[in-house]
Amino acid sequence: GESVGLHLPTLSVQEGDNSIINCAYSNSASDYFIWYKQESGKGPQFIIDIRSNMDKRQGQRVTVLLNKTVKHLSLQIAATQPGDSAVYFCAVLNQAGTALIFGKGTTLSVSS
Amino acid sequence: GAGVSQSPRYKVAKRGQDVALRCDPISGHVSLFWYQQALGQGPEFLTYFQNEAQLDKSGLPSDRFFAERPEGSVSTLKIQRTQQEDSAVYLCASSLNRGADTQYFGPGTRLTVL
């Protein structure tokens, strides 16, 4: 079946650094990808999404890069702030288009 | 508020009890989803509604789990004869259109089965 995996379960950075969180997916036919941020005790919060007809999309301080050749997705956070500390999930739309398949998450810790 | 709301936020049940979890999606959102999130894991899909129609229930782990959305807005996830392995956070999400793309999540209901 379809799966999503993350390269690192934890990432620690200093305030002001750029952060990069990586994700790999299994299905080359996947056409929609999304990143969520989840703080303790809260539901996942939408950050940014990208479709397979693009390889890069930018938001406010965040950029998502999609490499379909190697089935790799990354989230870049510029000038990381303590408020960015959370668990970050990448998710992929399933083949049926009815559900998101999530990875296990990367815990980002930002120290000031 | 304009977001997805869920109630109760916390639920403790004794093994064998039935529970009902409620989700109020964003007004006007066509699609509604339920996910189960175990501690330290990503959310796992349970079921999907488009308006009142349950189009995908492939993620429901057993026939003890049942979901409904009778009028195409509020949804209820019911778990019968709860077991300890049902302990998890149950997340509800909604999206504006048909299909599962940009989903907005509620805060979740943390279910603990003793």
Q: What is the pLDDT of residues A23-76, one digit of tens each?
A: 999 998 899 999 999 999 999 999 999 999 999 999 999 999 999 999 999 999
Q: Is the pLDDT of residue A7 over 80?
A: no
Please state whether A41 falls in left (phi above 0), alpha (psi between -120 and 50) or beta. left
Q: Which residues of A touch B7 (CB under 8 A)?
A: none
- Of the listed ranges A78-87, B3-12, B66-75, B90-99, the least confidently predicted one is B90-99
φ/ψ of residue B28, rounded to 5:
90, -5
Per-residue model confidence (pLDDT) at position B97 = 87
Distance CA B62, CA B76 (A): 16
For the record, the structure tokens of B85 come out as: 């392995």
Per-residue model confidence (pLDDT) at position A3 = 83
Amino acid at B104: Y
Q: Which residues of B touch A103 (CB under 8 A)?
A: 42
Q: Among A36, A46, A98, A102, pick the best mutation site for testing chain B contact (most B Cβ within 10 A).
A: A98
Q: Is the pLDDT of residue B1 over 60?
A: no
Residue B43 burial (CB count, 10 A): 30
Q: B15-33, pLDDT tens digit by residue?
A: 999 999 999 999 999 999 9
- Residue A15 gets which letter from DSSP? T
Binned at pLDDT 50, 70 and 90, residue A8 comes out as confident
Distance CA B58, CA B44 (A): 11
Q: A109 near A12, Cβ under 8 Å?
A: yes
Is A104 in CB contact (< 8 Å) with chain B? yes
Over range B66-77, report the average pLDDT: 97
Å from A24 to nearest chain B CA?
A: 14
